[in-house]
Amino acid sequence: MSIDQPPASPPPAGPPGGPQVGADEWVARQSHRQEQLPAWLRPAQQLAGRVGWWPRLAIAALVAAALPALGLGGFQLQVGINALLLAMLALGLNVTVGWAGLLDLGYVAFFGFGAYGFALLSSGQLGSAGIHLPAYLSLPVVMVGAAILGLLVGLPSRRLIGDYLAIVTLFFGEAFLEFTTNVAPGTLGGANGIVGIDPIQAFGFQLTSNTGYFYLLLILLVATMAALRLLDSSRTGRAWRAVREDPLAAASMTIPVSRVKLMAFAFGAVIAALAGTVFAAQQISVFPPDFNTAYLILIYAGLILGGAGSITGAVLGGLVVVITLDGFLRSPTEAGYIFYGLIVVALLVKLRPWRKLGGVVAATVALGFAAHAITGAISASAVAGGPQSSGWIASAVRDWVIVPASPKAAGNIGFVVLVCLLIALVQARGWWRTALLPPAIYLAACVWEARLVAEPSITRQILIGVVLIVMMNSRPQGLLGSRRVEVIT
């Protein structure tokens, strides 16, 4: 060892990447973490720390309750309802996946079960006159049914660990789709689904407006959050997390592992089914594809984005995913805000120092105009396409991005190249990464304007997939969760 060697750098202060053997260092790190916050935020944080969880929840609920009064349009209200639904579903999934650590890939079927159950009990589908139960009867029936179904589906978890359970539940979800599509079309409606479902009604009162459903969902969501918060700090919540951490140790500490797992399954199922009943009543119709794998993955994206294991995380993740994808990705102009906004935010957050950030931005802008000018000089048709989006962003980037006359083919090629480039970007280190950044951003913008903006529904799905991959690789604890430590045995 040479004497000139610089002193070893202190270990990084970030969250631990593995089990740490040594001093009790958490206390030190915790105070350090608080110091990292900007000074003006610290009093706010101290205040938030003093306020209990339920005043915070109440304030959030009041803010949300004020939204429809601000004059949300019909579309915004529908997005709000969808967002609350997904938040509710992510919350239920959090019990099974986040707390009990069981990978339930048939979760969406419980949502479907709730919806179909409510539909059958509140429409002309069963019997000659149909059944039209009031909500105070149909909801409990559906929820009890969902709990039983959850127990049945969870039964294999008694014998099967992790991976196998994922397969069984995935199949269960598929089987639910097959069942509703193919079996008993007279009753379940087959691919045509069930239409003409009653609204939620009780004591002669009917819930028909979307505003009403917004408030109903909000109330249910807040109540569920509070219930889960209380459950989390009870013996049941501790047992769930203990089973997630180490099933064998949990069993040796008097926890009946199978029963606790089944309870987690049933709880998730009940919450999903509750969301399903409201969904069916609000939509007035249910169809098998409402409960397909794509929707399951959307729920997962919400949970993972917010942070599995955290109530607030699950809810915020669900809200953010729907508001982003449903609310903004519909119209090309607003989609553009999200797309370019995300790039700018990512650069602002990740790129330091400022000099480097400025250099990358300048290089990207210059690269674009240069590429556009050169390509245009060689072949006019290569830039003839123009942005597929509209609005001021489109006119701003018109002379910057290259969109050929046939944007589809070029966009496809660009997409493949972009994926390769992004992979290279992830792998590259140091100077290379900085150098690759401008072309990657520029190409992303070109592909966006040429192809992705024109296919919002596909783009949305691709983004969901990307969210899962990126979150799991870079921040598995989600935006709000705290990093977990795991010993691999």
Find the binding residues for other proteins in span 261-290 (CB under 8 A): 263, 267
Q: Is 476 in the site for other proteins (CB under 8 A)?
A: yes
Q: Is 358 in the site for other proteins (CB under 8 A)?
A: no
Q: In sequence order, what are the residues at sequence separation of 6 or more whose Cβ sits closer than 8 angstroms to the Cβ of residue 116?
A: 180, 188, 194, 276, 280, 286
Q: What end-to-end distance do the CA atoms of the chain give, in Å? A: 35
- Residues within window 446-475 making contact with other proteins, judged by CB under 8 A: 451-452, 455, 458-459, 461-462, 464-469, 472-473
> What sections of 183-209 are H helices per DSSP?
185-188
Quote the least distance from Cβ 209 to other proteins, whole Å: 30
- Mask for 104-133, x = binds other proteins (CB under 8 A): -x----------------------------
Binding-site member from 53, 61, 179, 391 for other proteins (CB under 8 A): 179
Quote the least distance from Cβ 379 to other proteins, whole Å: 24
Q: How far apart are CA 85 and CA 50, in angstroms?
A: 30
Binding-site member from 175, 219, 345, 348 for other proteins (CB under 8 A): 175
Q: Is 144 in the site for other proteins (CB under 8 A)?
A: no
Q: How far apart are CA 168 and CA 153, in angstroms?
A: 8
Quote the least distance from Cβ 473 to other proteins, whole Å: 5
Instruction: Tell me if 166 sits within 8 A of 105, measured CB to CB.
Output: yes
Closest to other proteins by CB, 282 or 310 = 310
Amino acid identity at 471: M
Q: How far apart are CA 16 and CA 22, in angstroms?
A: 12
Quote the least distance from Cβ 77 to other proteins, whole Å: 28
According to DSSP, the residues that pair with 205 across neighbouring strands are 202
Binding-site member from 72, 145, 202, 238 for other proteins (CB under 8 A): 238
Q: State the Cα torsion 310-312-317-323 to the nearest 10°.
A: 170
- Mask for 184-223, x = binds other proteins (CB under 8 A): ----------------------------------------
Quote the least distance from Cβ 101 to other proteins, whole Å: 7
Q: How far apart are CA 135 and CA 205, in angstroms?
A: 10
- Residues within window 32-71 making contact with other proteins, judged by CB under 8 A: none
Quote the least distance from Cβ 9 to other proteins, whole Å: 22
Total Cβ atoms within 10 A of residue 49: 9
Binding-site member from 269, 278, 304, 325 for other proteins (CB under 8 A): 304
Look up tokens 């992705």; give the residue: 452
- Residues within window 393-422 making contact with other proteins, judged by CB under 8 A: 412, 415-416, 419
Could you give the angle at the alpha carbon of 400 between the alpha carbons of 395 and 401, nearest 5°?
95
Number of residues that bind other proteins (CB under 8 A): 92
Q: How far apart are CA 339 and CA 452, in angstroms?
A: 10
Binding-site member from 202, 251, 323, 363 for other proteins (CB under 8 A): 251
- Residues within window 368-387 making contact with other proteins, judged by CB under 8 A: none
Q: Is 242 in the site for other proteins (CB under 8 A)?
A: yes
- Mask for 422-441, x = binds other proteins (CB under 8 A): -x--xx--------------
Q: How far apart are CA 123 and CA 109, in angstroms?
A: 20
Count CA atoms within 13 Å of residue 274 on its CB side: 26
Count CA atoms within 13 Å of residue 234 on its CB side: 7
| Per-residue exposure over 100-123, b if at least 16 CB sit within 10 Å of its own CB, e if not | bbbbbbbbbbbbbbbbbbbbbbbb
Binding-site member from 68, 80, 92, 101 for other proteins (CB under 8 A): 101
Binding-site member from 53, 76, 126, 171 for other proteins (CB under 8 A): 171
Instruction: Tell me if 318 sits within 8 A of 87, measured CB to CB.
Output: yes
Radius of gyration of the chain, Cα coordinates, nearest whole angstrom: 26
Closest to other proteins by CB, 81 or 303 = 303
- Mask for 216-235, x = binds other proteins (CB under 8 A): -----------x--xx--xx
Q: How far apart are CA 421 and CA 313, in angstroms?
A: 31
- Mask for 12-31, x = binds other proteins (CB under 8 A): ----x-xxxxxxxxxx----
